Amino acid sequence: MTERPTTRRRILDAARRLFNAQGYSETTISQIADAAGIAHGNVWYHFRTKTDIVDALKAELAEALAERRAIGSQGRDLADEYVTSVLVGMQHQGDYRFVLRDALQFRSDEKEIDAALAEDHRTLRRLVRRLDEEEFFRRDLPVDLEELTRSLFIVARYWSDHVQDHEGRDEITWDDQVRGLRHHLGVLRPWLTAAARRAIDDAAEGAIQRLARASPA
Amino acid sequence: MTERPTTRRRILDAARRLFNAQGYSETTISQIADAAGIAHGNVWYHFRTKTDIVDALKAELAEALAERRAIGSQGRDLADEYVTSVLVGMQHQGDYRFVLRDALQFRSDEKEIDAALAEDHRTLRRLVRRLDEEEFFRRDLPVDLEELTRSLFIVARYWSDHVQDHEGRDEITWDDQVRGLRHHLGVLRPWLTAAARRAIDDAAEGAIQRLARASPA
Amino acid sequence: MTERPTTRRRILDAARRLFNAQGYSETTISQIADAAGIAHGNVWYHFRTKTDIVDALKAELAEALAERRAIGSQGRDLADEYVTSVLVGMQHQGDYRFVLRDALQFRSDEKEIDAALAEDHRTLRRLVRRLDEEEFFRRDLPVDLEELTRSLFIVARYWSDHVQDHEGRDEITWDDQVRGLRHHLGVLRPWLTAAARRAIDDAAEGAIQRLARASPA
Amino acid sequence: MTERPTTRRRILDAARRLFNAQGYSETTISQIADAAGIAHGNVWYHFRTKTDIVDALKAELAEALAERRAIGSQGRDLADEYVTSVLVGMQHQGDYRFVLRDALQFRSDEKEIDAALAEDHRTLRRLVRRLDEEEFFRRDLPVDLEELTRSLFIVARYWSDHVQDHEGRDEITWDDQVRGLRHHLGVLRPWLTAAARRAIDDAAEGAIQRLARASPA
DNA sequence: ACTGCCGGGACGTCCCGTTCGT
DNA sequence: ACGAACGGGACGTCCCGGCAGT
């Protein structure tokens, strides 16, 4: 029995969708209120300012990413952990992509680099290092781990922006995310040993099966 | 003896810089006027609407990219052509990155995918195919050209956004572009034969030397 | 006990007064807001654009004129009906005279002749014809009904403009309207039989007594 | 051999036409410059402010009306003088109708009633009195000269406005003016003796023939 | 005499943050 | 919790008066 979501929840969902589709500053509080089916003034009751909404969504994203990190290390093997981490991360970054895309519109007083973003980069770097330690990488090809990490990060991070820019899509679907994962792995693959390739590919298929679910609309 | 640039030019430069740094909708006509050293109401004389400024900058970018394509195929060898094309493209995309980043704020009536963007993707695809034809790629590694192209495209396209997001930089320098090229080539390199690797690396060094110059900052 | 009128009402009244006195384009939204005793930006809440205010006032006028037509034919004799129709019409046209006077400033996309205006002309023509049918007109003077109607229409229609132009008056009072009626009847009178003259004059006195009331401020 | 009119002349003509068609405040100096085929800034050379243009046109109108008065009393008979005066007056008022229509937009500091307007009324009153003195009016109908004068004035004065409002016409033609004269005389006619009627009608035909010419387009 | 360009300012639109009554 | 209404302010548009250069 699905209950009618709370007003606060409806505001956040409407805001997230609109921010993703139109950008932060092009979205008015009234539009959010309309989409949530309530009166403009009532948004104020739940969130005093427009940035309060952003902050709440940012917090949701941060929490989701933190949760992922916890889940990630639940005793599965490394390939699975890596793939799961990337896929879940892409999903969250897709759902909340405006947080990163419009970061410079939030009138950040100081030029704070987004904490979640940085943490995410670190997580990826840690996983790549463990891949190296567990000898996933070919010996015949000298790899610059730092550079590779960054390239992998970029592909994962900007994939949803790319889909939106390039294909004119407003909503990023689960299929889009899966395609993004394949691209990501495509960048990683040539560096891997044959065995590692198989392990990663198998893990990817497994993760895609396991995680398949609708994006939060 | 450098002459004082025309007012129209000063408006465009100021606008480009501000749009890049703060985003389109966070930038005020008055800010542009101040940066250009003229009265705010006077901007109107040169550009009737704010989007007229964007259109003019878009046209500049399109022209620059078209010019690059012409230059690109001037009888040099393929490695050089590839590297030059990517590097020059990154430079232009860095200088005008707001055009792509804020595309969805320009109230495009229809969801037109930016023509320049698409053309750019095609150019890259063509070059990658020629790399394949001229046997730059290793035979022992099956490569999906379409997928690789897209990954390469993403790294080049979003590199400047990444630098700005991740390092809080407002101006993208020549050094940033060079770093971007290296990342781009890092994605390409594992697929290449040893000979191709050397050819590309040499071409990269050459192009970097040749093109080194200040961004139009 | 007079209640405080709604804000929307106050805006409309203030706008009507100012439009009449200064003309449409010389009247500022801020002036209207001041006159209505509210903040200027708040007018927007009730009327999105300036022409929305005009449209609302036009609708009021149209409704008033329609109502008059209904009232006009309530079983009184023809003389009374004629006089009442003209007097009430003049009152409304005086109260909303800017609607007609400034019509060409409303940037009407097409050159639509004002519907209310045309309807008004038709109403007058119908009444004049009935005067003819009921033998109000002298037999010894050949009368061009169409021409006479138009002259009568002009005197009634532009009377309030004339008072404003010629006497520098901003508000048209009830007395002004009464004077206008007399002028109007002065144009009609020479064409009438002696009996008709008396009937019209008596009806005029009756109507003036009956309708005497303050203009809507 | 028609010479090219002076720039000053072209500005005045363009301004008059535009003011008549769109109203004073809806007409910009740039529109006038465009219509005159010169640069915006050049209008300033001839007329420092927008109201200077209006003042010049007002002066033209005043001069034309004064001239008419002189012409009017050139030894012709009274009927001819009356008709000529009205017709020429209507022509001028049609050509310069914005002067009267938009009078309240010129931001007249004091509520000066337009001098030309008042003078015109006086001229008409004088003529009507002379009609009375020379026994044009029927004896059997008591006539209020003052009231009649005003009605005649209104029909003549607002005729061109009426044509524009009611028929959506931007330019008032000579035929329109002739129609206006007939309406005007229609108001006068019932008060006249049979002989006077003939005299006035004959004079009207004569004047129409004599004065037929293109309006200053 | 004429043009291109400019400075300053006003207005309409639009939105955010807020209050009050229910 | 919620909705109607409100105050204040900012931005883009638009225009007028004015000047430097030819």
A128-154 residue pLDDT tens: 999 999 999 999 888 999 999 999 999
As given in the structure block, the two tokens for residue D127 are 């003529």
H or E stretch including B133?
Answer: helix B115-133
Tokens 């409309």 label which residue? Answer: C12
pLDDT at B66 (0 to 100)? 82
For chain A, list the contacting chains (3+ Cβ pairs, <8 Å): B
Phi/psi for A21 (5° steps) reads: -80, -40
CA D31 to chain centre: 25
Q: pLDDT digits over A60-69, tens only?
A: 988 888 877 7
Which DSSP string do the residues of chain C spell out, in sequence order? -PPPPPHHHHHHHHHHHHHHHH-STT--HHHHHHHHTS-HHHHHHH-SSHHHHHHHHHHHHHHHHHHHHHHHTSS--HHHHHHHHHHHHHHHHHHTHHHHHTGGGS--SS-PPPHHHHHHHHHHHHHHHHHHHTT-B-SSS---HHHHHHHHHHHHHHHHHHHHHHH--SS--HHHHHHHHHHHHHHHGGGB-HHHHHHHHHHHHHHHHHH------
Q: In the predicted model, what is the mean pLDDT of residues B63-91?
A: 84
Distances in whole angstroms, Cα of residue D89 to Cα of each of C130, D156, D185: 35, 8, 14
Contact D147 C183 (CB under 8 A): yes
| Per-position b or e across B6-44, b if 16+ CB within 10 A of its CB | eeeebbbbbbbbbbbebbbbbbebeebbebbebeeeebe
Q: pLDDT digits over D78-134, tens only?
A: 999 999 999 999 999 899 999 888 877 775 555 555 777 788 899 999 999 999 999
Q: In the predicted model, what is the mean pLDDT of residues B72-76?
A: 65
Residue C36: nearest nucleotide (C-alpha to C1'): F6
pLDDT at D62 (0 to 100)? 86
Q: In the predicted model, what is the mean pLDDT of residues A191-204?
A: 95
| Per-position b or e across A20-48, b if 16+ CB within 10 A of its CB | bebbbbbbebeebbebbebeeeebeebbe
pLDDT at D33 (0 to 100)? 97
pLDDT at A109 (0 to 100)? 53
CB of C7 under 7 A from strand F?
A: yes
Chain C residues with CB-CB distance to D116 below 8 A: none
Identify whether the C-beta of residue B162 lies closer than 8 Å to the C-beta of residue B194: no
Chain A residues with CB-CB distance to B111 below 8 A: 168
pLDDT at A217 (0 to 100)? 41
**Bigger pLDDT: D189 or D62?**
D189
Least confident of A68-72, A93-97, A170-174, C75-79: A68-72
**Protein CA at A30 to nucleotide C1' at F4, angstroms:** 14
What does the alpha-carbon distance between residue C156 and residue C152 come to, in Å, rounded to a whole number? 6
| Chain D residue nearest residue C112, CA to CA | D168
Chains C and D form CB pairs within 8 A to the count of 103
Chains A and B form CB pairs within 8 A to the count of 102
Residue B6: nearest nucleotide (C-alpha to C1'): E5
CA D124 to chain centre: 12
pLDDT at B168 (0 to 100)? 82
Tokens 């490569």 label which residue? Answer: B143
What does the alpha-carbon distance between residue D68 and residue A190 come to, in Å, rounded to a whole number? 99
What does the alpha-carbon distance between residue D70 and residue D62 come to, in Å, rounded to a whole number? 13
CB of D48 under 7 A from strand F?
A: yes
Q: Specify which residue's alpha carbon is closest to the C1' of nucleotide E7.
A: B39
Identify whether the C-beta of residue D97 lies closer than 8 Å to the C-beta of residue D20: yes
pLDDT at A111 (0 to 100)? 53
What does the alpha-carbon distance between residue B125 and residue B142 come to, in Å, rounded to a whole number? 17
The yes-or-no reply on C/B contact (3 CB pairs or more, < 8 Å) is: no
Identify whether the C-beta of residue A97 lies closer than 8 Å to the C-beta of residue A89: no
What does the alpha-carbon distance between residue A13 and residue A53 come to, in Å, rounded to a whole number? 10
pLDDT at C111 (0 to 100)? 56
| Chain C residue nearest residue D163, CA to CA | C154
**Protein CA at A193 to nucleotide C1' at E14, angstroms:** 59
pLDDT at D1 (0 to 100)? 45
Q: pLDDT digits over D44-78, tens only?
A: 999 999 999 999 999 998 888 888 777 656 667 89
Which of D20, D145, D151 is the best substitution to test chain C (most C C-beta atoms within 10 A)? Answer: D151
pLDDT band at B118 (very low <50, low <70, confident <90, very high): confident
**Bigger pLDDT: C212 or D20?**
D20
- Reduced to 3 states, what is the DSSP secondary structure of residue B6? coil
Q: pLDDT digits over B120-179, tens only?
A: 899 999 999 999 999 999 998 889 999 999 999 999 999 999 999 888 888 899 999 999
pLDDT at C93 (0 to 100)? 87
**Bigger pLDDT: D209 or A111?**
D209
Alpha-carbon gap: B122 to the closest alpha carbon of chain A (Å): 12
pLDDT higher than threshold 90 for residue A2: no
Alpha-carbon gap: D166 to the closest alpha carbon of chain C (Å): 6
Contact C155 D151 (CB under 8 A): yes
Pick out chain C residues at pLDDT < 50: 1, 214-217
H or E stretch including D148?
Answer: helix D145-167
As given in the structure block, the two tokens for residue B175 are 């050094």
Q: Which of D23, D107, D150 sits opposite C104 (nearest CB)?
A: D23
Q: pLDDT digits over D142-180, tens only?
A: 899 999 999 999 999 999 999 988 888 888 999 999 999
Would the CA dihedral through D165, D166, D170, D176 be positive or negative? negative
Of A150, A142, A152, the closest CA to residue A189 belongs to: A152
Distances in whole angstroms, Cα of residue A12 to Cα of each of A54, A160, D83: 9, 20, 79
**How many CB atoms neighbour CB A108 within 10 A?**
13
Distances in whole angstroms, Cα of residue A114 to Cα of each of A51, A110, B21: 15, 11, 16
Q: pLDDT digits over A99-116, tens only?
A: 888 877 775 555 555 777
What does the alpha-carbon distance between residue B93 and residue A126 come to, in Å, rounded to a whole number? 31
pLDDT at D167 (0 to 100)? 87
Would the CA dihedral through B207, B209, B213, B215 be positive or negative? positive
pLDDT at D217 (0 to 100)? 41
The residue type found at C5 is: P
Contact D166 C190 (CB under 8 A): no
pLDDT at D187 (0 to 100)? 96
> What average pLDDT does chain A have?
88
CA C205 to chain centre: 19
As given in the structure block, the two tokens for residue B208 are 């970097």
- Chain B interface, Cβ < 8 Å to A: 21-23, 25-26, 100-105, 107, 111-114, 117-118, 121, 141, 144, 147-148, 150-151, 154-155, 157-159, 161-162, 164-168, 182-183, 186-187, 190-191
Of D175, D157, D6, D50, the closest CA to residue D96 belongs to: D157
Identify whether the C-beta of residue D154 lies closer than 8 Å to the C-beta of residue C155: yes
- Chain C interface, Cβ < 8 Å to D: 21-23, 25-26, 100-105, 107, 111-114, 117-118, 121, 141, 144, 147-148, 150-151, 154-155, 157-159, 161-162, 164-168, 182-183, 186-187, 190-191
- Which residues of B spanning 45-104 put their CB closer than 7 angstroms to strand F? 45, 48-51
